């Protein structure tokens, strides 16, 4: 892929393709967003987070893992009043 752009003369699609290529060159995996099975309002990919937690924190129980994920999901729903 040609990564030499003339300033201001490339499309959003070309930019996305260039960034994907750069990440793939650094051995990051790529999955097209439309192939990920999740609700459109879901930001957190639960299965990915479970896999990450189990790989990095093997001593966590299933209950602890679910609590972490639950708190991460609900973090945006927390309202804080600063007086």
**Same-domain status, 1 and 19:** yes
**Same-domain status, 26 and 5:** yes
pTM of the model: 0.46
Tokens standing for residue 21? 């290529």
* Range of the structural domain that residue 19 is part of: 1-30
**Same-domain status, 55 and 80:** yes
Number of domains the chain contains: 2
Burial class (CB in 10 A: 0-12, 13-18, 19+), 73: middle
Between 44 and 78, residue with greater pLDDT: 44
Confidence (pLDDT) at 67:
92
pLDDT in tens, 22-62: 999 998 888 777 776 666 666 667 888 899 999 999 999 99
**Same-domain status, 76 and 44:** yes
């Amino acid at each position: 892929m040609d990564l030499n752009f003339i300033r201001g003369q490339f499309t959003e699609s070309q930019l996305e393709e260039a960034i994907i290529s750069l990440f793939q060159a650094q051995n990051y995996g790529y999955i097209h967003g439309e192939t990920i099975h999740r609700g459109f309002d879901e930001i957190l990919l639960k299965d990915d987070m479970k896999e990450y937690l189990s790989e990095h924190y093997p001593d966590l129980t299933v209950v602890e893992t679910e609590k972490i994920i639950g708190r991460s999901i609900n973090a945006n729903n927390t309202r804080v009043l600063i007086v």
